[in-house]
Structure 1
Amino acid sequence: MAIVKLDDHLIDQIAAGEVVERPASVVKELVENAVDAGASRIEIATAGGGKTLLRVTDDGCGIPENELSLAVRRHCTSKLSGGLDRIATLGFRGEALPSVGSVARLSLRSRAEGNREAFEILVDHGRCEGPRPTALSRGTVVEVRDLFQKVPARLKFLKSERAESAAITDIVRRLALAEPEIRFEISGPDRTTTVFPAARDMGERIAQVVGGDFATNSVAIDAEREDVRLTGLAGLPTFSRGNSLQQFLFVNGRPVRDKMLVSALRGGYSDVMAKDRHPVAVLFLTLDPALVDVNVHPAKADVRFRDPGLVRGLIVGALRQAFAESGLRSSSEGAAGVLARMRAKADTVTPAPRRFDGFAPGGYFAEGFAAPRQAPYVPGGSAFRPLEPAGTTTIERLPDFSATTPPPAGTAMAAAMSDTDAAREVFAGPDASSQPETYPLGAARAQLHGNYIVAETERGLVIVDQHAAHERLVYEALKEAIHGRALPSQMLLIPEIVDLSADDAERLCEHAADLARLGLGIERFGPAAIAVRETPAILGQIDIARLLRDLSDELAEFGTRDTVTSRIDHVAATVACHGSVRSGRVLKLDEMNALLRGMERTPSASQCNHGRPTFIELGLDDIEKLFGRR
């Protein structure tokens, strides 16, 4: 077949396949142009989920008449004066408007700042008309109609109007977070009007977009490493969602969905969140534009960092440090759910008939009143007796949980436990004082159903899941004992040879010293093979070839060795789960208080290793509202 030159219209349609994926893609490109134009107000109107109509209006600097024709031609832009090495604008490729005009009817009206007249240019599926005079007070109005009507192959792959409208809203939300000083409004017959007013600061804009409850269930992030800065808010591990739609990541003010950043975010939550849950976060990375390449894909949602290992390490480290320093914080969702259930139950209860029988002995239990149920078990005495005075109880060591079956001798768990006596000291600490309510988790008052500890605090009460709480304490002690020094390794009788590519083998050898500290001893065996002589003892029998391949893939993509670390942590988590106090175990009062004090000293004690909350706090105000006292 002969080689021919494609006509401009076909070239634009091919480019549109990458730039214009759906109506939300069009909104993204048009709103980014409005932001680059210095707009302070941006209005987005839609109809038919954006398939029938998309209109973006801004009050930016506008486009002069002699530049309108260039604006709808490919590879024409005003945003690359600094070259590709220092891109400071959201748009820069010069492909958006011609791509949209090739698959829809496009109208572009604009009045340049300082000009007395406005002009309009029309593009109908590649055919251009104008510019011609029109009426407009200021700024620019871009209107797109009948998107993909002449490209049925693309039109049939679009989703329902509701789904496309939701995608548009999500795009605007992300851009609104990046530009808090701009007012955004989304309206149309296919939706309810959504307005994000110009915010005083980023905190106010986050509350507008993500919700006010996120601010109260998050920790502030502010970390810097080698001129790369990370700021924003990260939701508490117990304040999670079933999908990743509430993750907002920005690089130099540009909303991105980069898989490396998403992976780093998951890494920061790896020890404190369930595998099927997703964190809520708004994070901003700021770095020299020369250190990041945003010209990776026409949609500009992916980026490439010159040092991805540095960026990933900054995100993971900042998140873990923030959670460790945040202290004991329970998600308000847990308390809200408990109170909601209590109110619902109260509405369905029919009060028993009441009859006053005087003050005769036993009158309280006269006909019409049911005999009281047995009081909940309170270790140490009556449910109505206060705690013993200070000095009557002294906690020296972790209570004896010998009822838990120890791991079999010779197993990986036994090997881990044999050298981690610190895990048995997690309860050691000061005993309860005469006013233990002054502690963050208060003083233990009762144990319910053999698993839940009820503690009184100055602000209300706390309900603790004893197994989940102890599991976290043991796990953190195990990790500290394991990672605080070089891990023990087991020598292989016959070294195992793993065939890899030459690049993967070289990459692994570069990190041999770091891997040795984790108990994995490797050395080069020819140009494309690795000899494994030692493996971490705590892992027991493992698939060495698979471990090395996973590790080499991770080093190639992220430059880290988290594969080995995560497997070791998984073993520690298993040991912690099996070695923790079981549900149904009756604890003494001093044991319960010791558990509370241990939680207060332990990082990430607000959730267990599986991401479940370890305690729920109910405020006194909320409790009094349940009983109509407020």
Structure 2
Amino acid sequence: MEQTPVIRVLPAGLKNQIAAGEVVERPSSVVKELVENALDAGATRVDVIVEQGGRSLIVVQDNGAGIGADQLNLAVTRHATSKIASFDDLSAIGSFGFRGEALPSIASVSRFTMTSKLRGADEAAFIAVRGGEVQEEGPAALASGTRVEVRDLFANTPARLKFLKTEATENKRCQDTLMRISLAHTETGFSLTVGGREAFRLPPGQALADRLATFWPPAVCEGLSPFDFEREGYRAHGVAGSPSTAQGRGDRILLYVNGRPVQDKMMLSAVRQAYRGMLLSREYPQLVLFLELPTREVDVNVHPAKLEVRFLEESRVFSSIRGGVLQALSGSSDDTSSFTATGSFAGTNEMTGEPAAPSFGGASAPASASTGSARRAHTPSGGGEAPKFASYREYRAGYNPPRDIPLPVPPPSVTGGEGLVEPPSGPAATSFPLAEAGRSAPLAGTDFTYLGQVADTYLVLKQGESLVLIDQHAAHERVLLAAMRQARTKGDSQPLALPVEISLHPSEAEVLQNLWEGLRSMGFLLEMDGPARVLMRGIPPTLDSGKAREYLADALAEKAGTLDDLWTMMACKTAIKAGQPLAADEALSLLETWLVTPEREFCPHGRPIVVTWCPADLEKLFKRK
């Protein structure tokens, strides 16, 4: 007969370790909990030290109100807190910590020492905890505030330790955590020392613009516009980035509720709604959003890590956030001009607020093709003539792109265009008929007929009874990206007579280190000249020095994260632009190559390349139906 399991009360140490599994996920969680405790204590100065990614040592010291000697033991006891006393307090939480779990949880998975001096007390006191058990306590020396030392994190729980990432990754997460907290508390000074080296030091009373400039590159900060929008007691304020500086990752969307960093899908949805029609499908803006609302209308007691919240009035939250971001993007308020690194405003917002493209009988050109960053990406730059699309002969001769990058072209018998082949040599490579003035040109081996170019941007074709428009820039982007992927870029470079000097922001230097090999494989010859400057000695043959510098600036602004992202950016920079006239043989060359390129319906950014109207669509357009 099987013995019935006995219900028992868990030992205190095991309880704390279970709680630690919810509260202390990794070293950055420890930094978050201890810094929030310091802020709750009214600290105006918080200094953080991290060693070996937080595994060996985390120190958080503040100049706050401190803890009395007779209270230190209670501070490391579960569910003991000074933040709340009744259910009414729980329903209107205004502090960051309130569960009374953080300190005992941290102490249960580390060698924990806390030293504190209560404001007005004669001397400080300390308490040492090992594996959740108090080992020692007594008087200590400390000028003011509280100092917490966490050593050998997870040493007594090796299963947790093995899930930590590399030292560099954990250091970065600790830095990101402190950065997010510091942006919501510009009245407080912060410093972070990693591995004995000071990562940053932020003075108290700093402007948000200056604080952001410590962490984000100048190219990003210069595109930020402030907003301050209030509706029915809900206030949304902060800064929003221009769509032209959007990037491929969402890690620069920072959301706060009553000063608390949060992750909330509904808030993010409101932000995306405000940017609707201005961003491509896989682009993310830069945004720092502070939402302030009555404490009784938000529940922060959803998760032990306090990263999730629930709102009583979600529709009001949504409309307040959307209204605030739209204010920044439209420049509707007197204060929403350009956000500078000195906390002042200069210039005007460049957002045009262009309407979405009209719908034609069920087929519509995408709104993103006529607004926001897509519009700017397709506009010829003021400096120099944009590169033209070359014929196959020019490609074979080494014109843009380099001769060692084969282009995808029609094989002898096209069945579906799934593969990429070396371009044929000889007359067959250019055996299509050319469109002359007033005459059309069929594309060999297809049912497409090229009719001409509209607005020096769109190629007009006839396919059977249907009318087809193709975005020349987007089609060329897709062709070039396919060629780069096939050739895997051999790193050919065009040397510069004089190296181009580029100053680096600390965040850009870190990004450059991660992208170094990818940039080298593309043809960039770079050389570090000190920690804050790089010399560009060679560039890809497809770019001139001005475009190469612009490309490198975009890469350092983290618009690319992988080698494929770098190729996508290169394809965009190299491709023909909207507003550029094409000769008939250039247009036909592009079209025949595009027709056998994989994924040809969409450009690398996700925008449609082709729009088609069948006879039924045209009849609806002309109201024949």
What SS class does the counterpart of residue 83 from structure 1 fall into? helix
- 1:229-628 alignment, distance < 5 Å: 229-325=235-331, 413-415=360-362, 467=457, 584=581
2:207 counterpart letter in structure 1 = D
**Residue number in structure 1 paired with 2:234:** 228
CA deviation after TM superposition for structure 1 residue 331, in Å: 12
Mapped to 2, the partners of 1:95 and 1:58 lie a distance apart of 20
What SS class does the counterpart of residue 229 from structure 1 fall into? strand
- 1:42-191 alignment, distance < 5 Å: 42-81=46-85, 83-189=89-195, 191=197
CA deviation after TM superposition for structure 1 residue 325, in Å: 3.5
Mapped to 2, the partners of 1:273 and 1:94 lie a distance apart of 43
Mapped to 1, the partners of 2:16 and 2:276 lie a distance apart of 44
CA deviation after TM superposition for structure 1 residue 467, in Å: 4.2
Mapped to 1, the partners of 2:47 and 2:209 lie a distance apart of 22
Cα distance, 1:443–1:262 mapped onto 2, change above 3 Å = closer
Q: Of 217, 220, 230, which aligns to 1:214?
A: 220
Residues 291 and 321 of structure 2 are in contact (CA less than 8 Å); yes or no, is this contact kept in structure 1? no
CA deviation after TM superposition for structure 1 residue 277, in Å: 2.1
Residues 456 and 582 of structure 2 are in contact (CA less than 8 Å); yes or no, is this contact kept in structure 1? no
Deviations 1:239-258 (A, max 9, x none): 12232221211111111122
Cα distance, 1:186–1:445 mapped onto 2, change above 3 Å = closer
Residues 48 and 190 of structure 1 are in contact (CA less than 8 Å); yes or no, is this contact kept in structure 2? no
Residues 219 and 326 of structure 1 are in contact (CA less than 8 Å); yes or no, is this contact kept in structure 2? no
Mapped to 1, the partners of 2:190 and 2:277 lie a distance apart of 38
Mapped to 2, the partners of 1:34 and 1:444 lie a distance apart of 52
Q: Of 29, 32, 36, which aligns to 1:32?
A: 36
What SS class does the counterpart of residue 250 from structure 2 fall into? coil
Deviates more, 1:122-131 or 1:195-204: 195-204
Deviations 1:422-448 (A, max 9, x none): xxxx9xxxxxxxxxxxxxx99999986
1:5 maps onto 2:23 in alignment: no
Residues 190 and 201 of structure 2 are in contact (CA less than 8 Å); yes or no, is this contact kept in structure 1? yes
Cα distance, 1:321–1:40 mapped onto 2, change above 3 Å = closer
Residues 239 and 331 of structure 1 are in contact (CA less than 8 Å); yes or no, is this contact kept in structure 2? no
CA deviation after TM superposition for structure 1 residue 449, in Å: 6.5
Cα distance, 1:37–1:277 mapped onto 2, change above 3 Å = same
Residues 241 and 278 of structure 1 are in contact (CA less than 8 Å); yes or no, is this contact kept in structure 2? yes
Deviates more, 1:231-240 or 1:188-197: 188-197
CA deviation after TM superposition for structure 1 residue 209, in Å: 3.7
What SS class does the counterpart of residue 49 from structure 2 fall into? strand
2:210 counterpart letter in structure 1 = E
Mapped to 2, the partners of 1:72 and 1:114 lie a distance apart of 22
Residues 48 and 192 of structure 2 are in contact (CA less than 8 Å); yes or no, is this contact kept in structure 1? yes
Identity among equivalent pairs (%): 41
What SS class does the counterpart of residue 114 from structure 2 fall into? strand
Q: Of 5, 22, 26, which aligns to 1:22?
A: 26
Cα distance, 1:114–1:414 mapped onto 2, change above 3 Å = same
CA deviation after TM superposition for structure 1 residue 326, in Å: 6.8
2:581 counterpart letter in structure 1 = G
Residues 64 and 145 of structure 2 are in contact (CA less than 8 Å); yes or no, is this contact kept in structure 1? yes
Cα distance, 1:128–1:270 mapped onto 2, change above 3 Å = same
What SS class does the counterpart of residue 244 from structure 2 fall into? coil
Stretches of structure 1 lacking an aligned partner (at least 5 in a row): 333-406, 419-425, 427-440, 452-464, 469-579, 587-607, 613-630
Mapped to 2, the partners of 1:243 and 1:252 lie a distance apart of 25
Q: How many residues align?
A: 373
Provide the aligned C-alpha RMSD in A: 3.9
Residues 230 and 286 of structure 1 are in contact (CA less than 8 Å); yes or no, is this contact kept in structure 2? yes
Mapped to 1, the partners of 2:249 and 2:265 lie a distance apart of 15
2:95 counterpart letter in structure 1 = T
2:174 counterpart letter in structure 1 = I
2:361 counterpart letter in structure 1 = A
What is the TM-score with the length of structure 2 in the denominator? 0.54
Stretches of structure 2 lacking an aligned partner (at least 5 in a row): 341-357, 366-370, 372-378, 390-454, 459-576, 584-604, 610-625
Mapped to 2, the partners of 1:259 and 1:310 lie a distance apart of 15
**Residue number in structure 2 paired with 1:476:** none
